[in-house]
Structure 1
Amino acid sequence: MSILSLSLLPFAKRNLRRSLLLLVLLFTTWGLVISCSSSVNQVKNLQLGQGEQMIVLGDSIASGYGVQVEQAFPSLLSRRLNVPILNQGVAGDTTALGLARLQTDVLDQNPWLVMVELSGNDYLQRIPETETEENLRQIITRIQAQGAIAVILGINVGVVGDNYDRLFEDLAKETQAYLIPQILKGLHRDERYRQDDIIHPSAAGHQIISDRVFEGLQPLLKAAKIPPTLENLVIEE
């Protein structure tokens, strides 16, 4: 082997690693798209088209703790989807507290689609997972009984343990809700995307969450019956 060939070996190895990483990312993304596409037609109330509003039922992440209201992901998502989104995020809420205000904050607001972003405070307060699961089940089934679509926003990366992965997946299958997993993935590890408390996203982190939820919703929105009040909803081709 020539000296020139030997000198090029490190560059070739780096390029190979980059190519392999790109392939892994492409297959992972493709797998997520296929998974969403295959499960979307099983979502309850997909074709009812009842209700008028999109709503987020959540905790401090939805409410935008530590950032401006317009920087929180529900506001960013609302602008990107080009429709109003009612933000019913309350800082400190557990799944039990979310369940307690479900009727007034969600069901009485004539929902078409409800995104549920809860369980982080259950984890921090060491509430048993069985209790968290049952509260979420009641929230989801009551939303569906209203004729609305229930979307679970999975917040299970880093701060929330691996068991929440299983919890969200099992609930989505059992109740025929739509799951957008791991919306916080990697954010707490990068100081650009989190606040000093590590738990809450920064404005830049909320932008990433908004992007993830927007992309995650697209297969659902393409398959769903959209009510007239949301006819300007942005759905990508």
Structure 2
Amino acid sequence: MARQWPTYVVCGLIVQMLAGCSDEPASNNAAAPTVREERRAASNADAKLILAFGDSLYAGYGVAQNESFPHELEKTLRAKGGAVEVRNAGVSGETTQGGLQRLAFTLDGLPRKPDLVLLGLGGNDMLRGLDPAESEKNLRAMLDILAERKLPVVLTGMLAAPNMGEAYAARFNAIYPALARDYRVPLYPFFLDGVIGDPKYMQPDSIHPNPAGVDVIVGKVAPLVLDNLASPK
């Protein structure tokens, strides 16, 4: 967790993030499944179902839906021989509080119990300077819900931007390792690892990955997902 965001990435970060996410097309923000998704689910009844539950980094802000993280993850897993459907439940601008409020509703709206849940929230809490203790409380509440339903989880973490200060970063960055330890869930420590700060992988806002960046992230996350589909906890 020692890896830090490049300093120049942070210039205007919070303003861009909050402004950009509020303009996200409705198709990226829809938590409920679309008719097309329902048809795909029906045709993939035997496939393992993965719920990607997160914010704009999952939703696919600034890229086409067939270039989003859940779509590309599904394509990669299928190429590796897995019969998998990845349901995109990312909502741009989502905080941990918002995620907690919609988690049960989202799970109840699925066609069946998911075989794995990818949980990736907290970045917007950090960018808004929200108390890390509240973010952790909300994430723990979500993990409690998932544990009660006996759903395996892979947690994807976030790191605090340098302009948040060392004291804030120390508190925020400690959240995800603590959750992984306490709930015994696998952790991918930093969702933007390998792409943040590199213009060839990032959109002009320097916050969201472009399609090439999404591919890099998927390449890093997919093996962890495959391991946990093969050997669910």
Q: TM-score, normalised by structure 1?
A: 0.68
Kindly state the Cα deviation for residue 111 of structure 1 after the two structures are TM-superposed.
Answer: 2.0
Q: Measure the CA separation in 1 of the matches of 2:142 and 2:178.
A: 15
Matched, 1:127 2:130: yes
Matches within 5 A, 1:59-98: 59-82=55-78, 83-98=84-99
SS class of match (1:212): helix
Q: Measure the CA separation in 1 of the matches of 2:74 and 2:220.
A: 13
Matches within 5 A, 1:1-237: 53-82=49-78, 83-109=84-110, 110-156=113-159, 158=161, 161=169, 163-224=171-232
Q: Provide the aligned C-alpha RMSD in A.
A: 2.1
Q: Measure the CA separation in 2 of the matches of 1:215 and 1:157.
A: 25
Kindly state the Cα deviation for residue 156 of structure 1 after the two structures are TM-superposed.
Answer: 2.1
Q: Measure the CA separation in 2 of the matches of 1:182 and 1:162.
A: 15
Kindly state the Cα deviation for residue 209 of structure 1 after the two structures are TM-superposed.
Answer: 1.0
Q: Measure the CA separation in 1 of the matches of 2:117 and 2:146.
A: 7
Q: Deviations over 1:135-166 (max 9, x none)?
A: 00011110111111011111227578454432
Q: Measure the CA separation in 2 of the matches of 1:162 and 1:105.
A: 32
Kindly state the Cα deviation for residue 201 of structure 1 after the two structures are TM-superposed.
Answer: 0.7
SS class of match (1:66): coil
Q: Is the 8 A contact 1:66 1:202 kept in 2?
A: yes
Q: Measure the CA separation in 2 of the matches of 1:203 and 1:100.
A: 30
TM-aligned CA distance change 1:218 to 1:158, over 3 Å: farther
Q: Is the 8 A contact 1:107 1:146 kept in 2?
A: no
Q: Measure the CA separation in 2 of the matches of 1:151 and 1:186.
A: 19
Kindly state the Cα deviation for residue 77 of structure 1 after the two structures are TM-superposed.
Answer: 0.6
Q: Measure the CA separation in 1 of the matches of 2:58 and 2:174.
A: 22
Q: Measure the CA separation in 1 of the matches of 2:107 and 2:90.
A: 11
Q: Measure the CA separation in 1 of the matches of 2:189 and 2:108.
A: 24
Query: Which stretches in structure 2 are left out of the alignment for 5+ residues?
Result: 1-47, 79-83
Q: Deviations over 1:99-147 (max 9, x none)?
A: 1000111244222211011101001111100000010001111011111
Q: Measure the CA separation in 2 of the matches of 1:75 and 1:194.
A: 18
Q: Is the 8 A contact 2:49 2:116 kept in 1?
A: yes
| Residue aligning to 1:44 | none
TM-aligned CA distance change 1:158 to 1:128, over 3 Å: closer
Q: Measure the CA separation in 2 of the matches of 1:163 and 1:191.
A: 29
Q: Deviations over 1:50-105 (max 9, x none)?
A: xx621011101101000001111110111111211111000000000011000111
Q: TM-score, normalised by structure 2?
A: 0.69
| Residue aligning to 1:233 | none
Q: Measure the CA separation in 1 of the matches of 2:205 and 2:123.
A: 14
Q: Is the 8 A contact 2:116 2:229 kept in 1?
A: no
SS class of match (1:111): coil
Kindly state the Cα deviation for residue 221 of structure 1 after the two structures are TM-superposed.
Answer: 3.1
Q: Measure the CA separation in 2 of the matches of 1:95 and 1:76.
A: 24
How many pairs were matched up? 175
| Structure number with larger C-alpha Rg | 1
Stretch deviating more after TM superposition (150-159 or 65-74): 150-159
